[in-house]
Amino acid sequence: MSTTVTAADTYITENVIDTEGWAESDAAKRQRLLNAAERTLIRYYSKYTIPDDAVYEFAAALATVYSDVMIAGQRGVQATSLSGVTSTTFREGQRELVNLIPQACRDIVGDANGVTLPARKVGRLVL
């Protein structure tokens, strides 16, 4: 793989619908997003070849999730109220990066490897 910020800029501008989070990120943050996306995909889909385009798709999704507006939600904030008194509500649990992989990214990895990678489903196991 040879992911670069320049190549990601081109791919995201031409192929991703929501580019605001990526566009608002500086070069250092874009590189961190690419690193996190690539590392997560390689770890989670270790049996498969990961195309650069899949990394770019995931990096764009991460840029949106970790944008200045959305970062509070990633840190557990559910609601904030400013009506003379500040009130903040937090949710429980932590979201793992692997849970943020968009289906478009799974499709790219699947197509490159001749397999179908459906969304990860969470359910109960009955023994």
Domain that holds residue 65: 5-113
Pairing of strands 77-82, 86-90: antiparallel
Within a domain: 60: yes
pLDDT value of residue 118: 86
d(CA 119, CA 57): 15
pLDDT for the residue 96: 84
pLDDT tens digits, 60-111: 999 988 865 555 555 556 666 666 566 656 565 557 889 889 999 999 999 9
- In the chain, the number of structural domains is 1
For 64, the token pair is 């949106």
**Does some domain include residue 38?**
yes
- pTM value > 0.85: no
What's the average model confidence in pLDDT over 53-66? 93
Quick one: which of 39, 17, 16, 45 has its CA closest to 112? Answer: 45
Reported as a single tens digit per residue, the pLDDT across 106-121 is: 999 999 999 999 876 6
Tell whether 123 is covered by a domain: no
